[in-house]
A and B are shown apart, each in its own frame.
Chain A
Amino acid sequence: MKIQMKWELEDPYNLIVFMFGFIMLGITFFSGLTRNDVVFMVSGPDEIIVSESAKTLGLTLPRLGTEEYTIFALTGALLVSLMMRYDRDTRVAKSVYSLPVRNYSVVLSKALSAMVLLFLASLLPAFLAFVYIHGDIPDLIGRALFGEGFLAGYLIYWAMMVLYVVSVSALVAMLSPNTFASLLGSITLLYAPLVLKLRSLPPAVINEAFFKAYTTQFYPADRVVTFLDGSFYTGLLLPVVMLGVALILSEWRDVS
């Protein structure tokens, strides 16, 4: 499984998609931060203003709006379709899956490496864009990330988004007949909640849970717990179930 993951992480096709996602997301995050005119209303002594401004700064950390989600979902769907469907289309998979490993383990390692790539392609440009704009206030950034507990929530936020996108695409890839269908299907499914304005599915539900947790709660631990509580079913449980179904399907379905 480790060797399989190494193959996938070094695959040039996957890395081209990775670079596409990395650069496009970085640019979008950056231009989102430059037109930022975030304001906060608070009154009180200076300490309260300092902590409120650290919190507001934490809330400006790049997250997935409509534009960013488009690129993010496209990158995820492309990565997973390329990894899981393309080798089956080109008959390369026959030699891979005939190795003495179970099918589900190959598919799981592909899903895990897609998650690693997508996670890196979103988290690194997010921090890069943030530092390229607000790099001259290290004290406040440190206060926002550690004192206000944004780092933990932010990492969980991206992990959830990545998990959701990869599992939806993996399930579609296992069900569909070829790469094209898999790509089209997963983009449609990932995009549907955005177009239909469904507030009970990701990305809206994860975004809202994050925002709510960090604006209503005061202590970092409470914030993380509230965030997990608000997004548990659709942000964690649903993707894990979908990934499980995809793994079971991979055992049932013949490789070709």
Chain B
Amino acid sequence: MRLLKAILLSTILITILVFPIEKNALTQPISGVVLVGRGMIVPSSGVALLSSNAEDGTEYTVRVFDPEIGEAILERNATGSFRGRVMLKHSGPYYFSIRTMTPVTMAVRIINRYPSVTVLNIRYGLGGVSALLLAAILLMEGRKK
């Protein structure tokens, strides 16, 4: 029983400590350069700013693919330069790619990073359930004596 209590108490403490650690990490933007295709594992949701410059008249397709739902969340034909933004609704992998005949470089910058609602629900849920369980166990033990 003590082992279970130790696990529950540690889970609660980790859940509380996770927030200040994450707050510090989320202020830094993530950036990367895409040549043909590049997958990135983003540790939070956020907004991705895409920008690419090519010679006038160069046609290419910019595509952002979300492996979780299995669909492209942005697919845009562009000529010359391109600016765009796309919401990354969940954390995890995303795949940025450019389809083109001539090489085009695209810069990706992820800003406004925040934990998604699902992740927050999981944290509050797990932390809360462990706190309630621990309280219940302590209460039962207190009543026995």
Which residues on A are within 8 Å of B, measured CB to CB? 9-10, 12, 15, 18-19, 22-23, 26-27, 30-31, 33-43, 46, 49-50, 52-54, 56-57, 60, 117, 120, 124-125, 128-129, 131-137, 139-140
Contacts and interface: CB of A to CB of B under 8 A. Distances in A.
A132 B119 contact: yes
Contacts, number: 142
A137 B43 CA distance: 11
Contacts of B37: 41-43, 49
A7 to B, nearest CB: 11
B14 interface: yes
Interface in B79-99: 90-93, 95, 97
A4 to B, nearest CB: 15
B17 A23 contact: yes
B14 A125 contact: yes
B118 interface: yes
Interface in B30-86: 30, 32, 36-41, 43-45, 65, 67-68, 70
B119 A52 contact: no
Contacts of B93: 40, 53, 56-57, 140
Contacts of B15: 132
A30 B13 CA distance: 13
Contacts of B97: 43
B140 interface: no
A131 B118 CA distance: 11
27 contacts: A15-B3, A19-B9, A19-B10, A22-B7, A23-B10, A23-B13, A26-B14, A27-B21, A37-B30, A39-B40, A42-B37, A43-B97, A46-B70, A49-B37, A49-B67, A50-B67, A53-B39, A125-B10, A131-B126, A133-B91, A133-B119, A134-B43, A135-B118, A136-B92, A136-B119, A137-B91, A140-B92
